Amino acid sequence: MRFALSAFLALACGARAASPELGQLDASPTLFTVMAAINAAGYDAGFDSPSNHPLRTEIRRQLAGRNIPSLAAIKEFYDRHKRDNPVQDLSQYISFALTCGPPPDFSFEKVREVDTPPDVSGMRELGPLLAKFYQEAGIESLWKGAQGDIDRYIQRYHNLVADAVLQVNAYLRQQTSGYRGRRFQIFVELLAPPNQVQARTYGNEDFIVVTPSREPYIFEIRHAYLGYLLDPLATHYSEMIERKKVLADHLARVHALPDSYKNDFLEVTTQSLIKAVEARLDHKPQMVQEALLQGYILAPYFAEALPLYEKQEAAMSVYYPELVGAIDLMREDARLQQVQFNKAISEQPAPKGDAPTPATGVSKTLEDAENLLNAYLKKPDTPDTLAQSRKLFQDALNQAKEKPQQAAATYGLARIALGEKDLDSAETLFTKVLELDPDAFVKAWALVYRGKLSLAAGENEQAVQFFQSALKVEGASDKAREEAVKGVQQGSRK
């Protein structure tokens, strides 16, 4: 299953990083290969996170059992290019995958050196190594085998992305999703460390890469899509915007923006407009003041001007010069003179920022509950910790709207019941988990626990069935598989 979002994202240009048949919300075989290679070479960032996708563990397991002569050279390359900053370490490989050619060659033949992103300029030698790795490791078969997990994860995003795109198109009165010759592409990558959102603009192509997370990164995708639609307008009317550049002097007092933004008034203008639009779409006017304090100095002006835009009939692409031309330099200068900007960076500017996004909402509640449960398991004489964990799992269950999150919360409550030796409740809860469309990690473990409970009850035949079902779960963790194998052996002996 592949999702083109054709009603909203019918775009023209082909991607360099993907074959032409890929949809605008998809996974990239090039990025998959790059991540498989560096995982095999020892890349462990985020591997112990509860949000890590089980497919990453499974692919690493399969690669570890194969004879791959080129892997030694890839390990040497990886060690040589390893960076202390984990975000930058991953970022360079995402940039590489988005600019090199597709498998099986991974060639830079059609990419001029001058067009190569700075973080990729010293990495071109990886292309030939990947070409060998792709063949020797049997990546094509691994890619095909991963399609089920990938499709399920893409399905999780599909309707939410379509709604976000429709919302933006409606607000900007955008008849088509973009401009001729430009392309907006969303990739999901399950072999990458979790809780990452990385965006790139290369020429006429805009990419956003999202990695596994408890909650979909819809806000970040919508933000990137707004940039995709509004950036070309700033470029087209750059002379008009440059006449307002005297306001950029105030950026010298800003501490929460990188220098690249301070030196790019067009980008600050676009991001200020995006912040104001987001505040309107989400009905959160406080976002405008937050944006201003971070350094998006035109956000208040745009927030005040957008209601006038909403009352007229022209699309943003037509209204834009009037919107920008009406900026009153004296008024905005007076406003900005009164602003005390944030003293420290409190937010990575999206969509340029690459920092991992911390868990929020239900995901944060689940994460805190898991941490408390793990703390109790290490030190069982802390009943208060267990009680707090139970409360958070129950809160997450009450708040969760998606079945996988409900399953994760129920799975936590089931393990607590098991730890308290309330076997009847544990069995009921683990059964409920399996009815809630859990992710592969939770599903496999719920089946293992059901098998163990059946063994304890002397129901060996049923126990073996549960264990065998766990072994069939694509993306189950190695530990769950190990326990399932032991369970089959125990159930078959008795």
CATH no. of 361-493: 1.25.40.10
What pLDDT shows up at residue 247?
96
Contacts for 410 with CB less than 8 Å, ≥ 6 apart? 393, 397, 429, 432, 433, 436
What pLDDT shows up at residue 487?
86
Contacts for 30 with CB less than 8 Å, ≥ 6 apart? 17, 18, 97, 98, 100, 101, 102, 103, 106
What pLDDT shows up at residue 419?
82
**Domain spans in the chain, listed from the N-terminal domain onward:** 25-210, 237-337, 361-493
**CA-based nearest residue to 101, from 191, 181, 31, 25:** 31
What pLDDT shows up at residue 153?
94
Rounded to whole angstroms, the Cα distance separating 303 from 292 reads 11
Exposed/middle/buried for residue 53 (C-beta within 10 Å: 0-12, 13-18, 19+): buried
- Bridge partners (DSSP) of residue 3 are 25
The pLDDT tens digits of the residues spanning 369-392 come to 888 887 777 777 777 778 888 888
Decide: helix, strand or coil at residue 3. strand
What pLDDT shows up at residue 22?
53
- Structure token pair of residue 157: 């995003």
The pLDDT tens digits of the residues spanning 388-411 come to 888 889 988 888 888 888 999 999
DSSP letters, 174-235, are: -SSSS-TT-EEEEEE-TTSPSS-EEEEEETTEEEEEE---SS--HHHHHHHHHHHHHHHHHH
What pLDDT shows up at residue 110?
54
The pLDDT tens digits of the residues spanning 330-352 come to 999 999 999 999 875 433 444 34
Question: Residue 80 belongs to what H/E stretch?
Answer: helix 71-81
Output the average pLDDT for the chain: 86
Q: What is the mean pLDDT of residues 416-445?
A: 88
Q: Percent of the chain, pLDDT > 70?
A: 89
DSSP letters, 40-53, are: HTT--TTTT-TTS-
